[in-house]
Amino acid sequence: MKKYLPHIIFAGLCVVPLMNLSSYIMHILILVLMWSVIGMAWNILGGYTGQVSFGHAAFFGFGAYTAGILYYHLEISAWWGIPACVVILTALSLVVGYICLRLRGAYFALATLALGEICRVTTENLVDLTQGNMGIMIRERTWIDKTWYFYIILFIAAGTFLLIKIVMESKLGYYFVAIREDQDAAESLGIDTTFYKTISLCLSGVLTGIAGAFFMNYMGYIDPGVVFPLYDISITTVMVVMVGGAATYWGPVVGAVIMVFLAEEIRSLPYIGAAHMTIFGVILILIILFVPNGIVGDYKKLLKPFKRKKEASS
């Protein structure tokens, strides 16, 4: 049963658009799938390889801007952004990897944090290329109906899930985990840690960029404040993985479901809506303190209080 869970969920999601759901619910589902892709992508680097990134907004925004610039300057469909961002994000990841993956400790986390800011400031100032703070808008959306967007992001998400599963069950995946657990030991066994960390970063960056290019096509409008913010994208990505569970297949998916619904719910509440960042921050702190490995990673620990009650009552 457990073995076929992914197939069942995938088949279930394929039928969803046929159920004639309201446009708002479809929007939420699309966001959930998009965030699962970003979360899974972050998980390769942060969860499995142990290199925590605080700047995935940079990869996301790069993907979005690749699609946007192709549309705006070359006047071709923004969907070409998805194949194009594979090339561009590999290049970006190689540069970032060369600069900061040679170093250990907090350098990588700080460098990625800076990367997000660099991208935001640069896009704001390179007005000729990116339209600066005016942003880029796609004048005619491909479809008005959300069905096809849903299928596209569903296939991207399924592909990402499959790719991660294949990678993590191959030699490459074991290298990643070895690097996370003990970099010195990994190196002494002949693993070129910098090289494999860079591969991990490339995979993670490209997948996040694809999600970004999809975002451009789906939302039809981007500006630096929308795609490069620290808290709304980079830290939310970390939270998606931490809530769900780092280094698990299902963690980012569970995290994305929870975070997207939570964000929608909290933002729509009167008065409290303005304080949604505070609530997110408190949730983040509580998770670090009590369920450091996320809901999927620590679900046994979470079930404990309920089990004890059962024993007491029986």
Residues binding other proteins (CB under 8 A): 46-47, 50, 52, 54, 99-100, 102-103, 105-107, 109-111, 113-114, 117-118, 121-122, 124-125, 180, 230-231, 235, 238, 242, 246-247, 274-278, 280-282, 284-285, 288-289, 292-293, 297
Structure tokens of 48? 């499995």
Residue with tokens 């700080």, as numbered in its chain: 110
Nearer to other proteins, 77 or 125 (CB): 125
| Whole-angstrom distance, CA of residue 208 vs CA of residue 198 | 15
Q: How far is the CB of 143 from other proteins (least distance, A)?
A: 36
Single out the residue of 81, 29, 30 nearest to residue 60, CA to CA.
81
- How far apart, in Å, are the Cα atoms of 139 and each of 1, 28, 125, 136, 266? 46, 23, 23, 9, 31
Residue closer to other proteins by CB (options 189, 275) is 275
- Distance of closest approach, residue 273 Cβ to other proteins, in angstroms: 10
Q: Are 121 and 115 in contact (CB under 8 A)?
A: no
How far apart CA 139 and CA 75 sit, in angstroms, is 11
* Of 72 and 124, CB closest to other proteins: 124
**Which residue number, 76 or 127, has a Cβ lying nearer to other proteins?**
127
Q: Which residues pair with 221 in a beta bridge?
A: 137
- Compute the least distance from the CB of residue 124 to other proteins, in Å: 7
Q: Which of 48, 52, 41, 43 is nearest to 107 (CA)?
A: 52
Cβ proximity to other proteins: between 189 and 274 the closer is 274
Minimum distance between the CB of residue 192 and other proteins, rounded to whole angstroms? 19
The distance of closest approach from Cβ of residue 298 to other proteins in the complex, given in angstroms and rounded to an integer, is 9
